[in-house]
Amino acid sequence: MERPGSVDLMAVVNTVHEPWSPRTVGTVNDYDVRVVRAHGEFTRHSHPETDEFFLVLTGSLTIRMDAGDVALSAGEIYIVPKGVEHQPVSPEGGTILLIEPTATVNTGDTPSELTAERRVVRGRPTGSP
């Protein structure tokens, strides 16, 4: 049965072929809910004005930080405090859900070739073909 307004996250992820290219699948107040396909190393960066929420949906993710690495498996979350330099890494790949303010740039204060424009997608409703 279809539920109005629902989004199939994995259907959205399956349309993304390049790693580290987030898609906004919803907005809660002034925060984006984003999904990203992770693979390899991302840019080391920080977000001086905001925390960053990571939830591993599939695979694994390590968040490298000066204070020590945080290794996450599917179903685990970690919140990087604002201003903390970090580098997401996923050698084997994974699918990650992020929550951060809508205006937040994925590479924070360190623009790179992995800096992505905000891309909003609606996915397909859960239960649709």
69 CB neighbour count, 10 Å cutoff: 11
- 9-101 in CATH: which number? 2.60.120.10
What pairs with residue 58 in β-bridges? 95
pLDDT in tens, 4-36: 578 888 888 888 889 999 999 999 999 999 999
First to last CA, the chain: 11
Segments of the chain assigned E as strands = 23-28, 31-41, 52-65, 70-73, 77-80, 86-101
For position 111, what pLDDT does the model report?
Answer: 77
Q: How far is CA 83 from the centre of its chain?
A: 18
Strand-strand pairing, 86-101 and 77-80 = unpaired
pLDDT in tens, 30-50: 999 999 999 999 999 999 999
CA dist., res. 121 & res. 13, Å (int): 10
Of 112, 81, 76, the C-alpha closest to 96 is 76
